């Protein structure tokens, strides 16, 4: 675990330290497009944040290669090299898109090529555990098509959800954290060394997101752009492919009886084998809804609009920060709920807690104007908007001013009378005014 934490910290540190210089480079290079109709930010913000994230990925792989406990991942498997090759290709395509706005079909072709490069180097799905049937071995073409489809879907799901400050980085960080816990358990609890690459990829992905998030939280100083969103989507997909299609379910040593009965009985274990799909369930749902919505309206499925889930949260009254936190909440609930159910599937408390948290999430979702208030002892640790308003002391009523010369009837000064003479005559005029009133 210490080696993974060291790799995570190095990746996060390199990403964090490089994001500042990358921001200056993006401004100098002109990678700061004008605000579009679908954007929610008010000022032009530089992109190319994926440059820092890519070098963080390279630093994490380099450090892991020199650690005694993680060096075997590079010696016994070609998956880290396959990941680096695909990541470099998709990163270059993203950098070009952040600068020149390349066509969507060209990006789709680049995503498929990047996935194909990883397949050629051994990062592919070899078999699938299907409940009720057992482990199904895939042919080369079936594994290739399924791998490419999974990579493309994950990349575009993450890319579509990257619409608010800190949203994509935070959701992918939660996804990779849940996936890391599951992969680490598969490796060290069951002794399956084939899960080591997926564990390493998840730890590095967490570091990439954590290092970039301080610069990307609202109000964001830099966006990751397509160079970052497609990159982290590819790394997440690589983790899923590594453990889902290459870890033999029979090696879990939990089966009894026939393969069909064992597979059906081990359903809670197979659920987290598809964990990357469950932890990005919200982005995938957003992707599917966007394709259906745009096709129904006669638009291209790749045409941008303001109909995404995070846009709808803003439209019903949620603030920018609260919309991001709501998306975080649901992502964490699905990811860690699935993970907890896979570990303790016989416990009814897991289901009850998930149901209770889902109800809380629905309440928060339907109350956009509800503003939580922190207790008084914690007010100094929270932003001002979460502090209770103290009653302001009533302003002391000022005494009514006594009648002044300004309130008296204005008397025109005859021509030829200077200012000094007029001022000296004011008391006399005042006395005459009072005498006339008494009379």
Domain boundaries, the chain: 2-35+43-252+260-304
Provide the 3-class DSSP secondary structure of residue 160. helix
Q: Classify residue 129 by its DSSP letter.
A: E
Residue 338 has a pLDDT of 79
Nearest to 211 by CA among 30, 58, 382: 58
Is the full-model pTM beyond 0.85? no
Residue indicated by tokens 């009814």: 348
* Structure tokens, 404: 């002044």
Residue 409 has a pLDDT of 44
Nearest to 3 by CA among 203, 284, 271, 219: 203
Distance of alpha carbon 270 from alpha carbon 350, whole angstroms? 17
Distance of alpha carbon 341 from alpha carbon 182, whole angstroms? 11
Q: Report the run of H or E that residue 136 belongs to, with start and end.
A: strand 134-137
CA angle 225, 177, 94 (to 5 degrees): 15
CA distances from 419 to 20, 423, 427, 431 (A): 67, 6, 14, 20
Contact partners, residue 64, CB within 8 Å, separation at least 6: 3, 7, 70, 71, 73, 74, 80, 200, 204
Distance of alpha carbon 110 from alpha carbon 104, whole angstroms? 10
User: Is residue 428 packed enough to be buried (19+ CB in 10 Å), middle (13-18) or exposed (0-12)?
Assistant: exposed
Contact partners, residue 418, CB within 8 Å, separation at least 6: none
Tens of pLDDT along the chain (439 residues) come to 889 999 999 999 999 999 999 999 999 988 886 665 555 556 778 889 999 999 999 999 999 999 988 988 898 889 999 999 999 999 999 999 998 888 888 999 999 999 999 999 989 888 776 666 667 788 889 889 989 998 998 898 888 777 778 888 998 998 889 889 888 888 777 777 878 898 999 999 999 999 999 998 878 889 998 999 999 999 999 988 887 766 666 665 544 444 444 444 444 445 545 565 665 667 677 777 777 877 877 776 666 666 666 667 766 766 777 778 888 888 888 888 878 877 776 667 877 888 888 888 777 776 665 565 667 777 776 666 566 666 555 444 445 554 444 444 444 545 454 444 544 554 554 555 545 544 4
Helices (H), 78-195: 79-100, 104-120, 140-161, 167-190
User: Is residue 346 packed enough to be buried (19+ CB in 10 Å), middle (13-18) or exposed (0-12)?
Assistant: exposed
Neighbouring CB atoms inside 10 A of 31's CB total 23
What's the start-to-end Cα distance of the chain, in Å? Answer: 102
Instruction: Name the phi and psi angles at 135, rounded to 5.
Output: -85, 120
Q: Report the run of H or E that residue 281 belongs to, with start and end.
A: helix 281-296
Residue 212 has a pLDDT of 96
């Amino acid at each position: 675990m210490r080696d993974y934490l060291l790799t995570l910290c190095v990746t996060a540190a390199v990403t964090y330290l490089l994001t500042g210089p990358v921001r200056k480079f993006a401004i100098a290079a002109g990678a700061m497009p004008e605000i579009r109709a679908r954007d929610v930010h008010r000022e032009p913000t530089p992109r190319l944040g994926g440059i820092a994230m890519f070098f963080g990925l390279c630093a994490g792989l380099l450090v892991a290669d020199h650690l005694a406990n993680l060096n075997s991942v590079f010696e016994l498997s070609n998956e880290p090299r396959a990941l680096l090759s695909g990541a470099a290709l998709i990163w270059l395509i993203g950098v070009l898109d952040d600068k020149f706005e390349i066509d969507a079909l060209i990006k789709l072709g680049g995503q498929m090529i990047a996935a194909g490069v990883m397949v050629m180097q051994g990062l592919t799905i070899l078999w699938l555990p299907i409940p009720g049937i057992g482990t199904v071995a895939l042919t080369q073409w079936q594994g290739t098509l399924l791998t490419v489809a999974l990579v493309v879907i994950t990349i575009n799901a993450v890319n579509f959800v990257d619409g608010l400050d800190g949203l994509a980085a935070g959701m992918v960080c939660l996804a990779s954290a849940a996936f890391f816990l599951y992969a680490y358990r598969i490796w060290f609890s069951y002794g399956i060394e084939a899960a080591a690459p997926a564990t390493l990829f998840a730890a590095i992905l967490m570091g990439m997101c954590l290092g970039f998030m301080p610069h990307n939280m609202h109000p964001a100083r830099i966006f990751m752009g397509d160079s970052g969103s497609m990159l982290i989507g590819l790394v997440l997909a690589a983790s899923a492919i590594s453990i889902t299609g290459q870890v033999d379910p029979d090696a879990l040593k939990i089966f009894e009886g026939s393969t069909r009965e064992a597979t059906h009985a081990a359903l809670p274990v197979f659920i987290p084998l598809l964990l990357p799909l469950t932890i990005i369930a919200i982005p995938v749902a957003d992707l599917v809804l966007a394709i259906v919505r745009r096709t129904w309206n006669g638009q291209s499925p790749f045409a941008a609009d303001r109909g995404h889930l995070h846009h709808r949260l803003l439209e019903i009254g949620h603030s920018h920060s609260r919309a991001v936190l709501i998306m975080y909440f649901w992502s964490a609930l699905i990811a860690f709920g699935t993970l907890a159910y896979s570990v303790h599937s016989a416990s009814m408390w897991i289901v009850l807690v998930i149901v209770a948290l889902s109800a809380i999430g629905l309440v928060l979702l339907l109350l956009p104007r509800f503003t939580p208030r922190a207790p008084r002892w914690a007010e100094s640790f929270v932003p001002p908007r979460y502090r209770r308003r103290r009653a302001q002391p009533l302003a002391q009523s000022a005494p009514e001013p006594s009648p002044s010369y300004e309130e008296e009837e204005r008397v025109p000064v005859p021509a030829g009378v200077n200012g000094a003479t007029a001022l000296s005559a004011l008391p006399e005029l005042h006395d005459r005014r009072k005498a006339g009133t008494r009379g």
